[in-house]
Amino acid sequence: MLNKIICGAESISVIVGKCVAWLTLVMMLLTCLIVVLRYGLGIGSIALQESVLYMHAMVFMLGAAYTFKDDEHVRVDVFYRGFSSRKKAWVNIVGGLLFLLPFCGYTAYMSIDYVAASWRVLETSQEPGGLPFIYLLKTLIPAMMLMLIIQGVADILKNVGVLLNKHQAEAL
């Protein structure tokens, strides 16, 4: 049962993470197009430039849970790297429960009014010719927090499994 919950939560991170990873290629191609249009043909487009910013936000905000799942996030591990699997599991559980989940929950809660206000007026870019989707961009804030909460719970459960199963602890 524990493994099904973990796999289900992690599959969300993997699917979203792999989808947004492709945005880096699209971003690069679009940036090249913007440069060619602007400097080669003298054509500028605020909407194209803002679309690169939107994709950049999606890559980082929606890719955070995927990065966390693969343990590729920034970690100050002066002591952690020398810990046994069981000590690492304890650090991950305590860190998740005391820092990650409360921070994500608080940030998601605090962003609701901010995002709702943007949706109420269907906020658009202040730039002439900009994209009319600022409200969608702001929606990435609670979406990121929700995905990190889901992945954080999966990580906590995975580490509880390490503590409950000594053989699994040796495999990590």
Distance CA 67, CA 71 (A): 6
| pTM higher than 0.75 | yes
57, 137 in Cβ contact below 8 A?
Answer: yes
Task: Show the domain range for 75.
Answer: 2-171
Which ranges of 121-165 would DSSP assign to H, the alpha helix?
A: 134-164
The mean pLDDT values, 10 residues at a time, for the chain of 172 residues are 81 89 93 93 91 94 90 75 86 93 96 96 91 94 95 92 68 46
> For tokens 């009014």, what's the residue?
113
- Structural domain tally of the chain? 1
Question: Euclidean distance between the first and final Cα of the chain, in Å?
Answer: 20
Confidence (pLDDT) at 113: 96
Confidence (pLDDT) at 77: 75
Q: What does each C-alpha distance from 109 to 124, 137, 156 come to in angstroms?
A: 23, 17, 21
Structure tokens at 149: 């909460």
Confidence (pLDDT) at 141: 96
